[in-house]
């Protein structure tokens, strides 16, 4: 239905991405180990030229890419998105970009965005990882938690406090290679199937050459990155919602109950209609937010918050409804909907929880 918003070339490209995801990427994803970085999958994303679309690319292109991948292979979508999130801040520094971006684009180097801490999630300005002055730079001491791709990434965009007591104004972003002395970590066993871990910093050395942007201006780097990727989290959610809707509609058309196909039951058909309507509304909100970002519109923050809020909540509803229509078979390990059920929960939390998005929207109403 949303095809009116896209030109023929965009529609053709989205179809091509879905084909690649189903035919080339999904087998690699299925061969990987849940909770671990899938380097063959990243290499394939690089070979297909999809990682290159992240740098710089438009927000709308990113949304179309993430939605298309998510409809066929959520692991490929997430692997691509994490590369973009972890490496996008490096564009602030020509030297760091020259060193890392080509390797990230090829899939050779794995990037990670290390912002969240045990006591600082959505309140990013409250982070406590200490960057203590040392000869030639700083020493990082503290912990990061629930970091995607940790501890297996090759380079981390790390946000640390260089000026104590300064809130958002005292945070600096650093590019920290994984082989720095004092940097360690461990995997976390999470509901979501993608890799997440904890990082520990024991006086990890960083220098001026590792600073992303400016000293004490790292919060701006974090927010610039999150603002760019927030609409595309909604696109990921739309892709999952569409996959759930497609599966539920196919099942309702083929499964017979009480002497007729499930689709003939009003309770089922009305649920499918609600799923379709919410998914389409979410898709249009995501496209509008991406176009607002690309055009530099004054309402970008509000539009992005609305898109992420509505799309992630819609995906949760759609997947849950699809499971209900399928019944017990959808709960079997390995079923598409069992996979989506585990995958769909996290986007309502990361990159600004649902409650944070509502606060942003409410604040914008009175700006």
Confidence of residue 122 (pLDDT cuts 50, 70, 90): low
pLDDT value at 298 more than 60: yes
* CB crowding 172-200: b at 16 or more within 10 Å, else e: bbbbbbbebeebebeebebebbbbbbbbb
Residues 291 and 157: their CA atoms lie apart, in Å, by 27
Class for domain 111-216, per CATH?
A: mainly beta
Cα distances (Å, whole numbers) of residue 315 to 190, 233, 274, 288, 319: 19, 11, 12, 18, 6
| Average per-residue pLDDT for the chain | 94
* pLDDT at residue 265 is higher than 90: yes
CATH superfamily of 220-365: Butyryl-CoA Dehydrogenase, subunit A, domain 3 (1.20.140.10)
Q: Are 97 and 54 in contact (CB under 8 A)?
A: no
Question: What number is the average pLDDT over the span 279-296?
Answer: 95
Q: Is the pLDDT of residue 3 over 60?
A: no
Catalytic positions, written as ranges: 351
Q: Residue 49: exposed, middle, or buried by beta-carbon count in 10 A (0-12, 13-18, 19+)? A: exposed
pLDDT given for residue 351 in this prediction: 86
- At 2 the pLDDT is 43
pLDDT band at 1 (very low <50, low <70, confident <90, very high): very low
pLDDT per position as a tens digit, 238-252? 999 999 999 999 999
Average confidence (pLDDT) over 349-357? 91
Give pLDDT tens digits for 15-74. Answer: 999 999 999 999 999 999 988 999 999 999 999 999 999 988 899 999 999 999 999 999
Q: For 194-233, write each residue's pLDDT tens digit.
A: 899 999 999 999 999 999 999 999 999 998 898 889 999 9
Task: Delimit the domains of the chain by residue range.
Answer: 2-106, 111-216, 220-365
* 350, 226 contact by CB (below 8 A): no
Asked if residue 145 lies in contact with residue 130, where contact means CB atoms within 8 angstroms, the answer is no
pLDDT per position as a tens digit, 67-111: 999 999 999 999 999 999 999 999 999 999 999 999 999 999 999
Are domains 2-106 and 111-216 of this chain identical in fold?
A: no
Superfamily of domain 2-106: Acyl-CoA dehydrogenase/oxidase, N-terminal domain (1.10.540.10)
């Amino acid at each position: 239905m949303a095809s009116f918003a896209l030109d023929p070339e965009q529609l053709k490209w989205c179809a091509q991405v879905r084909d690649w995801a189903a035919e080339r990427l999904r087998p690699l994803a299925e061969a990987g180990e849940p909770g671990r970085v899938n380097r063959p999958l990243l290499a394939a994303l690089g070979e297909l030229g999809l990682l290159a679309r992240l740098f710089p690319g438009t927000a709308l292109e990113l949304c179309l890419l993430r939605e298309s991948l998510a409809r066929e292979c959520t692991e490929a979508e997430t692997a691509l998105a994490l590369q973009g999130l972890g490496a996008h801040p490096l564009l602030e520094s020509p030297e760091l970009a020259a060193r890392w971006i080509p390797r990230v684009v090829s899939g050779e180097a794995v990037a990670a965005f290390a912002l969240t801490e045990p006591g600082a999630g959505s309140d990013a300005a409250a982070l406590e990882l200490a960057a203590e002055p040392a000869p030639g730079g700083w020493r990082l001491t503290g912990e990061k938690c629930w970091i995607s791709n940790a501890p297996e990434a090759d380079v981390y965009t790390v946000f640390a406090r260089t000026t104590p007591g300064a809130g958002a104004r005292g945070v600096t972003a650093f590019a920290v290679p994984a082989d720095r002395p004092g940097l360690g970590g461990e995997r976390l066993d999470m509901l979501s199937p993608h890799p997440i871990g904890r990082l520990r910093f024991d006086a990890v050395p960083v220098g001026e050459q590792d600073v992303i942007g400016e000293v004490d201006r790292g919060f701006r780097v974090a927010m610039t990155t999150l603002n760019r990727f927030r609409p595309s989290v909604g696109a990921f959610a739309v892709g999952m919602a569409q996959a759930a809707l497609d599966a539920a509609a196919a099942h309702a058309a083929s499964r017979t109950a009480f002497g007729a196909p499930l689709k003939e039951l009003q309770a089922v058909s009305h649920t499918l209609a609600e799923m379709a309507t919410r998914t389409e509304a979410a898709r249009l909100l995501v496209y509008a937010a991406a176009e607002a970002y690309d055009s530099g519109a004054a309402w970008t923050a509000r539009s992005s918050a609305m898109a992420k809020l509505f799309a992630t909540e819609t995906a949760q509803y759609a997947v849950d409804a699809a499971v209900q229509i399928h019944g017990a078979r959808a709960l079997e390990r390995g079923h598409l909907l069992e996979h989506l059920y585990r995958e769909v929960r996290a986007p309502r939390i990361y990159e600004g929880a649902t409650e944070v998005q509502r606060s942003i929207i409410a604040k914008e109403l009175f700006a």
